[in-house]
Amino acid sequence: MRVGIVGSGFVGATAGYALVMQGVGRELVLVDKNAARAEAEADDIRHAVPFAHPLEVRSGDYDALAGCRVVLICAGVGQKPGETRLQLLQRNAMVFHKVVPAVLASAPEAVLVIATNPVDVMTHLAAHYAAKCGVPAGRVLGSGTTLDTARFRSLLGRHGGIDPQHIHAHVIGEHGDSEVLTWSLVTVAGMPLESFTKLRGIDLTEEKKREIDRQVRHAAYTIISGKTATYYGIGSALARIVKVILHDQRAVMTVCLPTKEVAGVADVTLSLPRLVGGAGVLETFPLPLSEQENSQLHESARVIRQALDELGDNS
């Protein structure tokens, strides 16, 4: 099973490394406009193979993507300190005009997973360009709030003293400042969060909730200010998405996808819990949100739709 990665910067290379560490796929191909960078990253990742799983790792041009089941698109310029994801839009939009058709020319049957920020807008654009190449809806998805959801569960797990894998908690909406933490729906071992904390004698005050919300919402800014970029978390998230697709695992993930209507906003791409399998997104699950959360989701959808309108994309 061949996996392609377009864009061999921090995120693309780390995703490749995570794929090797997790043993996802059988062959990994790195593509970058800087061919020397792609070759160097492929060599470096290949040297980790003897300590992990038997994957073939190489670099190449777009034609090397032929036969790929999944292609990660991480191409684009990086986020600067203090720059919001939506401010990246104009600088990254033009990149996709060339990248998406080039990928599909070589790998027309691949599922495309978008990681380039602002990921909601970039996924919307990628799906638009892919549709012109005959790619059906659902086969182009973005990493969305997969990482934000992991951050939310991680912080809840730390506070509650429990493995976050046993926590169901979703972050939905924009992968960015307007994202929505669905506090009203959090469960731990099948119990509502309030019941779990009461049983365990854990004090989860409104102040603590606000602090967790702040840490989730502003995690990227904090990391970027300290080390200029985020890549370990998102690299691992991308590897997980690829694994789910390659093995048709039918996992529920908060990936982003073009959606006809969300919270009263038409034709917008954002994250909701979605069933992901071998063909991409198979289903979207509506959530019984609180009135406040639904209002927040409307605002998040409006922010993304406004960005698309400013770009002049009314598709």
| Residues annotated as catalytic (active site), given as ranges | 175
- From the number of C-beta atoms within 10 Å of its C-beta (0-12, 13-18, 19+), residue 159 rates as middle
Residues 174, 14, 230, 225, Cα dihedral to 10°: -160
State the Cα–Cα distance between residues 130 and 252, nearest whole angstrom. Answer: 24
Tokens for 280? 């991409």
Q: Where are the alpha helices (DSSP H) in the chain?
A: 10-22, 35-46, 89-106, 119-132, 146-160, 193-200, 206-217, 219-227, 232-246, 291-311
**Cβ–Cβ under 8 Å, residues 99 and 122:** no
CA proximity to 300, closest of 152, 171, 204: 171
Maximal CA-CA distance, the chain: 58
State the Cα–Cα distance between residues 56 and 71, nearest whole angstrom. Answer: 16
> Pairing state of beta strands 274-277 and 280-284?
antiparallel
CA angle 164, 169, 172 (to 5 degrees): 135
Enumerate the β-bridge partners of residue 290.
none
